[in-house]
Amino acid sequence: MNSDDISPMHERARAFETAAELLAAPDALMPLSVEEARVVVGYMTPRYIPANTTFIREGDAADEGFMALLLEGEVVVESVTVSRTEPLTIRVLGPGSLIGEVGLVDREPRSASCTTGADSLCAILSRNAFEALITEEPSIGSKLLLAISARLAERLRDNARKLRLYAKLAKAMQLEIDHLLAPGSR
């Protein structure tokens, strides 16, 4: 069967079922049943994003809060803030990854850029849809919000571990520099 034989409605149904399976997988972000995941997916919109498309830009302050669940493809997350000159790849994400969840819950500028590394299919949850989910399905909405919060807390702890490591490295480097520059060390 070629792609011309698949109707847009069939593609949408397939994308939604894939999204529900990813959200309800045992290693997924949140402890949702398949039925609950289908409810969440009902608030999402499928979006095809061609390869090499930057769909989130670091520093973008536009209030377009959304989160994407990557169904197919690959997304490269980069930041210029970290290196101050050239984009630094923070991570490469594959199917099942959530992207932009910080932008879903706050109204601050984006903290990194996200570019598709391959043709990608995402399920998008906008802030408005998220708020509707919380209002209309509070039990499921709260599970999603708690899961996003746990994910953000995990990132915060990971960043704190990295900062401690960087501080130790900086201290060791400073001690080495001080030793090399000390009188009589040459």
**Domain-wise residue ranges, the chain:** 3-158
As to burial, measured by CB atoms within 10 angstroms (0-12 exposed, 13-18 middle, 19+ buried), residue 96 is middle
- Reported in sequence order, the residue ranges of 24-112 that DSSP labels E, i.e. its strands, are 45-49, 54-56, 66-79, 88-93, 98-99
Average pLDDT, integer, range 83-105: 83
d(CA 128, CA 65): 8
Question: Quick one: pLDDT at residue 183?
Answer: 83
**Sequence-separated (6 or more) residues with CB below 8 Å from residue 127:** 65, 66, 104
d(CA 133, CA 39): 9
Average pLDDT, integer, range 65-82: 87
Q: pLDDT for 142-184, tens place per residue?
A: 988 888 888 888 888 988 898 899 899 989 999 989 888 888 7
pLDDT score of 12 more than 80:
no
CATH 2.60.120.10 fits 3-158, yes or no: yes
Comparing 127 with 17, the larger pLDDT belongs to 127
Question: Quick one: pLDDT at residue 30?
Answer: 63
Burial profile 112-143: b = 16 or more Cβ within 10 angstroms, e = fewer: bbbbbeeebbbbbbbbebbeebbeebeebbeb
CB 40 within 8 A of CB 32: yes
Sign of the Cα torsion 7, 13, 17, 18 reads: positive
Q: What are phi and psi of 15, to 5 degrees?
A: -60, -45
Q: pLDDT for 119-143, tens place per residue?
A: 999 999 999 999 999 999 999 999 8
Q: Nearest Cα to 106, choosing from 71, 60, 53?
A: 60
Q: What is the pTM of this model?
A: 0.77
> Residue 108 to residues 11, 58, 65: CA-CA distances in angstroms?
34, 11, 9
Question: Quick one: pLDDT at residue 4?
Answer: 41
Question: Quick one: pLDDT at residue 28?
Answer: 65
Count how many residues are written for the chain. 186
Q: pLDDT for 36-73, tens place per residue?
A: 989 999 999 999 999 999 999 988 877 678 999 999 99
